[in-house]
Amino acid sequence: MTVRELTAIDLDVLIDLYNSVGWTNYTEKPEMLKKAYENSLLILGAYDNDQLTGVIRVVGDGFSVVFIQDILVFPEYQRRGIGTRLLREVMDRYSSVYQMELMTDNTPKTIAFYQSVGFVKADDMGCCAFMRM
């Protein structure tokens, strides 16, 4: 597996990836997904030869804050360390950023995954999160 910066956006492949993990709120608005990718700070893809297996998308300023907006791996490639590799690549690239954030499902599986790479739940830091959709 190789990880490299995603510079060309194949919207059909991205839509397949998002659909494969059930994130249809993105695929129902493909133009929004396309613009989101075009305006991201960084996008890394994980590849098995030339086959995209996973992606991580980062937004922010790259200095005071980065937000890991999306991290997805095709189901048939999950549990192989791809998500961890993508996340560690981002963490290495932005190792000096003041604040690295993400929002995820509140399940034991996702909590354990992010804690395993050094993330702490916001409420454990005396913080809370707000959002508007």
The pLDDT of residue 68: 96
Q: Is residue 107 in some structural domain?
A: yes
The pLDDT confidence band at residue 105, using thresholds 50, 70 and 90, is confident
pLDDT bucket at 99, cuts 50 / 70 / 90: very high
Residue 68 in any domain: the answer is yes
CATH of the domain at 64: 3.40.630.30
In a domain, residue 132? The reply is: no
Structural domain includes residue 63: yes
For residue 35, tell me if it sits in a domain: yes
Number of domains observed in the structure of the chain: 1
In this predicted structure, the answer to whether residue 130 has a pLDDT above a threshold of 90 is no
Q: Which domain holds residue 82?
A: 2-125
Q: Give the pLDDT of residue 132.
A: 87
Q: Is the pLDDT of residue 9 over 90?
A: no
In a domain, 131, yes or no: no
Any domain includes 15: yes
DSSP per residue, 41-77: SEEEEEEETTEEEEEEEEEE-SSSEEEEEEEEE-GGG
Tell me: pLDDT of 77 over 90: yes
In a domain? residue 16: yes
Model confidence band, residue 82 (pLDDT cutoffs 50, 70, 90) = very high
User: Tokens in use for 95?
Assistant: 């190792």
Q: What is the mean pLDDT of residues 20-34?
A: 92
Residue 131 has pLDDT above 90, yes or no: no
